[in-house]
Structure 1
Amino acid sequence: MKESTSKAPKSRKPRGDGHERIPEILAAAQRVFSREGFAKTTMRRVASEAGVSPAGLYLYFSSKEAILVAIRDQTFADLHKYTRDAVIDVVDAEQRLRKHLTAYLRYATTNPDSYRLTMRSQLIRTPRAGRPASAREAIGREAFNDLLDDIADLIHPDESHDENITHELAETTWAIIHGLSSLAIDVPDFPTSGIDNCLNQALNMIIAGIRSHEPGRSGIRT
């Protein structure tokens, strides 16, 4: 008897267990988005990767944009936990900030796909991190608040800091560590001096800049 050469259809998971399905769908979507690009990805393609029917996928997410928002939310939650765990037992303000930023870079470079998708989500009209309609709804706001607190403690341990300057410094600090993280992810052989050396130099410059605003020092203002 001649053997059949037809391929069996990709098996689909049994109905139910929604709490387990969502992480699987997000992981599958992240693979497809990263491999094929968001613009070219269809819900049908995500469903196939996740092993569910297109109709079944719509039970969980109304669109691929909604899937990306969920990936972004989970990434910010994971990043927040990762950086917070890194400094949980650190008392010294400077060392805490150094460990915080080091953990940020480590998270980004060990989770490049989710980091890219999250930080570039504004390119496809999903809500921008840090710029929602309401500050209370900001995804990632808790992580940014931790950075604000670390910088404030470094300048004014007595909590009498200038909130405007602290916010400016926090945004600038994030821009530096985000830029380094993105370059380390996307540019082959960057930095040529080695990521640890480059990170150390970046941290030294960040700390020096922040300390220039300590009481009794002449901060650089324009």
Structure 2
Amino acid sequence: MTLALKKPHKSARKPKGDGHLRRGEILAAAERIFIAEGYAGATIRKIADAVGVSSTALYMHFRDKDQILLEIGDDAIGQLLAVNVDIAHRPIDAVARVRLMLEAYMKFALDNPNTYQLVFCGSRDVISKEKQAATAELGDRCFAEFSGPIHEIAAAGRLRTGSGESAAQVLWAACHGLVALLITMPDRNWAPREELMKVTLDGLLHGLVTD
């Protein structure tokens, strides 16, 4: 009598897609898991399972969790840098450029809450400073583009108080505070987001800049 051999069971895996598409799926899944379970609780196996690939397949795209988190940061800051560079070169008043940059920053945060939490609200001590050096440099470039128009305002004697540098830091910190609260405390009885952003920018810019 001949016995029929059972075919080995295959785990349910997604069909192999284009490399850049699969890479994007991994980053999106990692964002969700980092937020839900923290950096320490997120494992390569959990991320791979969420995407529907083996851990070995995931390692073909990323060498470890650090690289995944750093790429999420680089992509987010790179997008903001591109926006700032575009706005910085527009032939409009410096105050209008600053306002457009801050509006774009807040809208990015609210449209990408998981990314924003990881990149701008998360603890930086989970990855060594050496590994973060390139990301930090990208962040410095992004802030420099944002600060440029504010230094123009200061040089023209239009700041009511502070320096170009302190004004830039306060403007960024205030907008960060608003979007961070909206993202992390969504159940509060907030006014409409567009109104909150407008009131924030009106108050900040009218308070800092003379006509």
Alignment TM-score > 0.5, same fold: yes
Letter in 2 for 1:29: A
Q: Aligned equivalents of 2:132 and 2:22: distance in 1? A: 30
User: Residue 41 of structure 2: SS of its match in structure 1?
Assistant: coil
Q: Aligned equivalents of 1:52 and 1:193: distance in 2? A: 42
Cross-structure match for 1:120? 121
Per-residue deviation, residues 28-78 of structure 1 (Å, max 9, x unmatched)? 211222333333211101111222211122233222122111111111112
Per-residue deviation, residues 128-159 of structure 1 (Å, max 9, x unmatched)? 7xx9986995232222112111211222259x
Structure 1 unaligned residues grouped into runs of 5+? 1-6, 213-222
Query: Stretches of 4+ moved more than 6 A in 1?
Result: 131-136
In structure 1, which of residues 4, 9, 15 is the aligned counterpart of residue 11 of structure 2?
9
Q: Aligned equivalents of 1:157 and 1:191: distance in 2? A: 40
Q: CA deviation at 1:109?
A: 0.4
Cross-structure match for 1:36? 37
Contact 2:66 2:127 in 1 (8 A): yes
Q: Which has the higher contact order (CA 8 A, sep 6+)?
A: 2
Q: CA deviation at 1:189?
A: 5.0
Q: Aligned equivalents of 2:19 and 2:45: distance in 1? A: 19
Inter-CA distance 62–202: structure 2 relative to 1 (3 Å threshold): same
Aligned residues: 199
Task: Give the CA RMSD over aligned residues.
Answer: 3.3
Q: Aligned equivalents of 1:147 and 1:123: distance in 2? A: 22
Structure 2 unaligned residues grouped into runs of 5+? 1-8
Q: TM-score, normalised by structure 1?
A: 0.74
Contact 1:121 1:127 in 2 (8 A): no
Cross-structure match for 1:147? 146
Q: Aligned equivalents of 1:132 and 1:33: distance in 2? A: 18
Higher helix share goes to which structure? Answer: 2
